[in-house]
């Protein structure tokens, strides 16, 4: 069975000092009352997270075996950078001017490394 994981930043940290907000990993739940996302820890507790920072685990890893999440910025061995997005039913590479390669194909043809993400390092795009 494939593992379905998410990551997001704690909303309290995100609102007070965005640069200090930490990533949390776990399951995702939508609170229908206010359309808020809650993140569940291994111990069963939860926290409110910034819905704009929620990203799903793609099931794939970079050349360093780091798990690739939606919103990660990957750099290929040729120097091309792209963000991971969900598009037309699959994980794809967003090069800014166009959304192109399927992520699976991209990482199997290129040696790729996570160099940041669109929330912490937008300048990399």
CB 65 within 8 A of CB 55: no
Distance (Å, rounded) from C-alpha 98 to C-alpha 7?
25
Mean of the pLDDT values across residues 52-72?
95
- Give tens-digit pLDDT for 86-116: 998 999 999 988 888 899 999 988 899 999 9
pTM of the model: 0.86
- Give tens-digit pLDDT for 6-59: 998 887 765 666 667 788 888 888 776 555 667 676 777 778 888 888 999 999
């Amino acid at each position: 069975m494939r593992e379905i994981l998410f990551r997001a930043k704690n909303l309290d940290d995100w609102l007070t000092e965005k640069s200090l907000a930490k990533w949390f990993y776990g399951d995702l739940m939508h609170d229908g009352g206010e359309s808020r996302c809650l993140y569940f820890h291994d111990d069963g507790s939860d926290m409110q997270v910034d819905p704009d920072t929620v990203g799903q685990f793609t099931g794939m890893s970079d050349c360093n075996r780091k798990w690739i999440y939606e919103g990660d910025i990957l750099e290929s061995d040729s120097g091309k950078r792209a963000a991971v997005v969900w598009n037309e039913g699959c994980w794809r590479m967003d090069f800014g001017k166009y959304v192109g390669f399927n992520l699976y194909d991209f990482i199997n043809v290129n040696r790729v490394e996570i160099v940041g993400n669109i929330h912490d390092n937008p300048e990399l795009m």
